[in-house]
Amino acid sequence: MNGINNFYNRHIIIINMKRSILYLFCWLTTIATSAQRPNIVLIISDDHAYQTIGAYGNKLVETPNIDRIAKEGVLFDKAYVTNSICGPSRAVILTGKYSHKNGFRDNENSKFDASQNSFIKELTKAGYQTSWIGKMHLDATPQGFTFWQILPGQGAYYNPDFLMMDGSKKRIEGYVANVVEDVAEDWLNKRDSTKPFCLVIGHKNTHRIWLPDTCDYGKYDNINFPLPSNFYDDYDGREAAKVQDMTIAKTMQLAYDLKMYDTVITLAAITRMNAAQRAKFDEYYNSIYRDFKKRDLSGNALTEWKFQRYMKDYLATAASLDRNIGRLLDYLDRNNLTQNTIVIYMSDQGFYMGEHGWFDKRFMYEESFRTPMVMRYPKHIKAGSVNRNMVMNLDIGPTLLQAAGVPVPNDMQGNSFLSLVENKTGVIRKAMYYHYYENGEHAVSPHFGISTRRYKLIHFYKRVNSWELYDMNNDKNEMHNLYDAKKYRKVQTRLKRQLLKLIEQYNDKEAEELMLKSDL
C-alpha cells in the first residue's frame, strides 16, 4: 500500500514540478516579450504651428518640454499631413489610410466608421493596453481601445465634459490640458502593468478661440511679435488664396476670437468658467479692452493690433500644452518608463500665424501642410538628431506597429519611418500626395496636389478651378504661382505625370477623374 502511495506521491511531485517549470517559463517569456515591446505615448495637439516652437527655431517663445523631446530624440524637419484639418488628420493617423480610403474626408459631412481597422486595434490584438484620452473629434464611439475618455466634439477649455466608456458624461473641473493629463496619468497608474501600453493623448490646445489657462494670461504681453514678411499678401495670381475667409483683418473677430467684449458675455466657452476662473478672465481681458478702446484703431493699425493679440493668446494657450507634455515626461521618469517608451509629439496639422495675413489651416501651403513632430525612443534614436526625410501622419500607424513587432496590415497606405530614424537609412517616399475636401467654413477651395523636395503643384476644384506651381528653392513663402510659366513648362508636365501616378498608387478615384478632365 505504502509503495503505491510513494509511487503516487512522487508522480504528483514530478507533475507539479513540470507545471511549475512551465509556469515559470511562461512568466519569463511574458516578461521578456513585454520588456522588448516598447510602450508608446502619442501626444496629438490641435492646430499647433511649428513656427511657434523653440526646437523649430522660434527664439521668442518657450516650449521647453517639446524641445526636450527633440533634444533627447529626433526632430522631423519635413513632417506633413495628407489633409490639413482636425478629424480627417486623426482618422488618417488611426487607420494609416488616406481620407478617400478611411471615409472621413471633412469635419462637416463625414462620419467616421470606427468599425474599420486601425493601428490601435492591431496593438490591442497583440496584447497592448490601449487608450485615447482627450480630444478625438471623430464624432464616433471609439472602437478597439481597452480604455477611452474623450472630449465631445471640439471640447471645452474650462471645466470640460468627457464622454465615458459606459455612455455617461462627466464634467471635470479645471483647465482642459491639465485635466486631460490628469486622466492620462490616472489611467497609467491603474493599467495592467504586466502588459505594454499605447496611450494617445489628444490635447485641445491650441485650437481657436485660444483660451489660455488663468496662470498663463499675459505670459507674452511684453513681446512685440514681428509681422511675417507676407502679412499683407495681395494673393496676386492665386485665386483660391484670394477667395478664402481666414484673414486676421476680416475674419478674426474682436469679441469672439480676441475676447474684447463691450456687452454681457454670452459665449458658452466663457460662461462655463467657475467664479474664480471668471474673475481672473475678467481682470485680464477687461484691462486690455479698456486700453484698446482708448487707442481707437482702424485700418492696418487695427489689423496689426489684432495680430499681436492673436499671437499672445495663442502662445499663452500653447504654454499649458507644453507644460503638460512636461508632466507626462516627468511621469515616465518617476515610474522608470522612460527607457522603454516611445514618445511622439505632433499636431493634427500646422497653422498660419499671420503668414499670407491668415490664421487657420487647410491649404497645401507649407504652414498648414507641414506639422511639428518630435520623437524620443531611447537606445534606438540618437539624441538631438534632425531628420529631413518626407514623413507623413499616414506613417504613424505603420511606424508604431513595426516598433511593437506587429505586422503592418497590407492595406495601410503609410510606410514605417523607423529605419529612417534608427539607422538613418532608406527613403520612404520621393514625393507627397495631399487632398483637402472641405468646402465650407473659411471658404478654402477643395484641392489636391504633389510636393517634391523642390516643387509643389496644386489643383484647386469646386470653389475655384485653377492650378498652382511653386519653386520652393526660390519662393519658400509660395507667393509666385509659376503655373504655365514658359521656363517651368517641362517641370509642370513632369509633375503632373508624377501626381497622376501617386493618385493611381493611392487609388484616389475622385482625383483621378478630375485630373483626366483637366488638360494633362
Residues that bind Ca ion (CB under 5 A): 46-47, 86, 348
Shortest distance (Å) from residue 149 CB to ligand SGN: 19
Q: Which residue bears the cell 484698446?
A: 292
Beta carbon nearer to Ca ion, 360 or 508 = 360
Closest CA to 307 of 375, 258, 344: 258
Beta carbon nearer to ligand SGN, 322 or 360 = 360
Interface positions, 134-153, toward ligand SGN (CB under 6 A) = 137
Closest CA to 212 of 311, 136, 346: 311
**If contact means CB under 5 to 8 A according to the sort of partner, which of ligand SGN, Ca ion, none does residue 114 touch?**
none
**If contact means CB under 5 to 8 A according to the sort of partner, which of ligand SGN, Ca ion, none does residue 137 touch?**
ligand SGN
Cα–Cα distance measured from residue 199 to residue 197, given in angstroms and rounded to the nearest whole number: 6
Q: Check residue 92 for interaction with ligand SGN (CB under 6 A).
A: no
Cα–Cα distance measured from residue 456 to residue 165, given in angstroms and rounded to the nearest whole number: 44
Residues 6+ apart with CB under 8 A from 325: 43, 65, 66, 69, 345
Shortest distance (Å) from residue 43 CB to Ca ion: 14
- Peptide bond between residue 371 and the one before it cis (omega within 30 degrees of 0): no
- Residue 1, classified by CB atoms within 10 Å of its CB into exposed (0-12), middle (13-18) or buried (19+), is exposed
Q: Looking at residue 394, what DSSP letter applies?
A: G
Interface segment toward ligand SGN; rule CB under 6 A; list 124-132, 207-215, 218-226, 415-423: 207-215
Beta carbon nearer to ligand SGN, 46 or 122 = 46
Cα–Cα distance measured from residue 321 to residue 281, given in angstroms and rounded to the nearest whole number: 19
Beta carbon nearer to ligand SGN, 65 or 107 = 107
Among 107, 341, 371, 416, the residue binding ligand SGN under the rule CB under 6 A is: 107
**If contact means CB under 5 to 8 A according to the sort of partner, which of Ca ion, ligand SGN, none does residue 313 touch?**
none
Closest CA to 346 of 409, 391, 413: 391
Q: Check residue 204 for interaction with ligand SGN (CB under 6 A).
A: no
Largest distance between two CA atoms of the chain: 109
Q: Check residue 207 for interaction with ligand SGN (CB under 6 A).
A: yes
Shortest distance (Å) from residue 100 CB to ligand SGN: 18
Q: How is 172-224 classified by DSSP, letter by letter?
A: --SBHHHHHHHHHHHHHHHS-TTS-EEEEEE--TT-TT----GGGTTTTTT--
Sheet order of strands, 197-202 included: 169-171, 161-163, 147-151, 129-135, 197-202, 39-45, 341-347, 373-376, 74-76, 385-387
Interface segment toward ligand SGN; rule CB under 6 A; list 205-213, 274-282, 305-313, 323-331: 205-213
How many amino acids of this chain bind ligand SGN (CB under 6 A)? 12
Chain center to CA of 178: 18
Shortest distance (Å) from residue 479 CB to Ca ion: 25
Phi then psi for residue 500, to 5 deg, are -60, -40
Sheet order of strands, 432-436 included: 432-436, 447-451, 455-460, 466-471
Beta carbon nearer to ligand SGN, 54 or 87 = 87
Shortest distance (Å) from residue 229 CB to Ca ion: 25
Beta carbon nearer to ligand SGN, 104 or 162 = 104
Residues 358, 246 contacting (CB under 8 angstroms): yes
And the C-alpha cell for 187? 489611467
Interface segment toward ligand SGN; rule CB under 6 A; list 5-13, 202-210, 293-301, 320-328: 202-210
Beta carbon nearer to ligand SGN, 97 or 361 = 361
Cα–Cα distance measured from residue 38 to residue 377, given in angstroms and rounded to the nearest whole number: 9
Among 37, 46, 401, 408, the residue binding ligand SGN under the rule CB under 6 A is: 46
Beta carbon nearer to Ca ion, 63 or 481 = 63
Shortest distance (Å) from residue 217 CB to Ca ion: 23
* Binding-residue pattern over the window 322 to 361 for ligand SGN, x denoting contact by CB under 6 A: --------------------------------------x-
> In 395-508, where does DSSP find H-type helix?
396-404, 418-422, 489-505
Beta carbon nearer to ligand SGN, 154 or 402 = 154
Q: Check residue 442 for interaction with ligand SGN (CB under 6 A).
A: yes
Beta carbon nearer to ligand SGN, 355 or 360 = 360
**If contact means CB under 5 to 8 A according to the sort of partner, which of ligand SGN, Ca ion, none does residue 441 touch?**
ligand SGN
**Closest residue to ligand SGN using C-beta atoms:** 86
And the C-alpha cell for 56? 523649430
And the C-alpha cell for 363? 491649404
Beta carbon nearer to ligand SGN, 394 or 479 = 394
Among 34, 43, 44, 47, the residue binding ligand SGN under the rule CB under 6 A is: 47
Among 61, 85, 133, 258, the residue binding ligand SGN under the rule CB under 6 A is: 85
Cα–Cα distance measured from residue 228 to residue 435, given in angstroms and rounded to the nearest whole number: 26
Shortest distance (Å) from residue 208 CB to Ca ion: 9
The residue ranges that bind ligand SGN (CB under 6 A) are: 46-47, 85-86, 107, 137, 207-209, 360, 441-442
